Homo-oligomer: A and B are copies of this chain.
Amino acid sequence: MIITLSMNAALDVTYRVPALVPHTTHRVSDVAERPGGKGLNVARVLAALGHPVTVTGFAGGPTGAEVRRRLAAGPYAGRITDALVPIAGQTRRTVGVVDAGSGDTTMFNEPGPTVTPGEWATLLGVYRGLLTAGGGADAVALCGSLPPGVPVGAYAELIREARAAGVYVLLDTDGPALRRGLAARPDLIKPNSEELTGLTGFAEPVRAARDAHRRGARAVAASLGADGMLVVSGDGCWRAAPPARLAGNPTGAGDSAVAGLLSGVAEGLPWPARLARAVALSAATVLAPAAGEYDPAAYGELLPRVEVVPATS
């Protein structure tokens, strides 16, 4: 079983309009809602790949209730266990407005609710229980920004707990939460180029990833956008790229990559195979018509065509 933790879960709302014109009124032709936030996106892709997954984090208010209802009713509901912790605050919404013509999206992200010390303590208890339940979890993904009220050292604490329980732990966040988490020696971090440069000060990806590795991450999988992904680990360094430059919506591509990497860990695959899976899933997400979904046919077609090569700086 894989655990994903969403500190800042969301209800993603997507509106389709003919064209976004500021300071006018738009009749929305189509409304879609789904559970969102990095951890829940990762969980959905893992479930689609056939992995049982338990989601935890916080959910509150009518929007939190709707997130839980949709988790329980979604296409892979049988493989997703809801271990979200109820909070008094309201789960944030994100509203994405898609121009039907260009396909461009304008995002409005609500601020997340403030978490109380008691709610944070409850989450810690739930998390500890999940790490050891049923003979122990295969892996855990800690995803996203920290909501107000959660201590900045929260990820470091969660990483230490996972390592003490012998559970593989991936951290996907940025800024101070990433910097502080790194000190607790996570098994894997998955920054994008910008986050990696922010962390290390180096713009060149291999150099930056090696630096992050030296600072505490046992492995660094850096997503390079359309150029694919780079891994620096104790076992070696590899780079993988999709077979061609792809046009589409990159929303959720990073979360699909996390799911690809973690599913590979849970299946005991070597690094090059994990990397190929992450890059193919990420590309299949860019190609999917709906933001944050991946196209299973494109994934099957792309996977054998991803080229993985040793990386040198």
Chain A: residues with CB nearer than 8 A to chain B?
15, 17, 20-29, 31, 62-63, 65-66, 95, 97, 99, 102, 104-111
Contacts and interface: CB of A to CB of B under 8 A. Distances in A.
A15 B106 CA distance: 14
B109 A31 contact: no
Given A62-B65, A110-B31, A105 B26 contact: no
Contacts of A20: 22-23, 106
A111 B27 contact: yes
A247 to B, nearest CB: 15
Contacts of A109: 25-28
A31 to B, nearest CB: 5
11 contacts: A15-B95, A15-B108, A15-B110, A21-B106, A22-B22, A22-B99, A23-B99, A27-B109, A27-B111, A28-B109, A28-B110
Contacts of A107: 24-26
Given A20-B23, A24-B106, A95-B108, 8 more contacts: A15-B95, A15-B108, A20-B22, A20-B106, A25-B109, A26-B106, A28-B110, A31-B111
A144 to B, nearest CB: 14
Contacts of A95: 15, 95, 108
Contacts of A102: 23
Given A66-B62, A95-B95, A111 B29 contact: yes
A22 B23 CA distance: 11
Nearest to A66: B62
A105 B31 contact: no
A63 to B, nearest CB: 8
Contact of A106 (B22, B29, B104, B110): B22
A102 B109 CA distance: 20
A14 to B, nearest CB: 11
A25 B106 CA distance: 6
A65 B63 CA distance: 11
A109 B26 CA distance: 6
Contacts of A65: 62
A248 to B, nearest CB: 15
Contacts of A29: 111
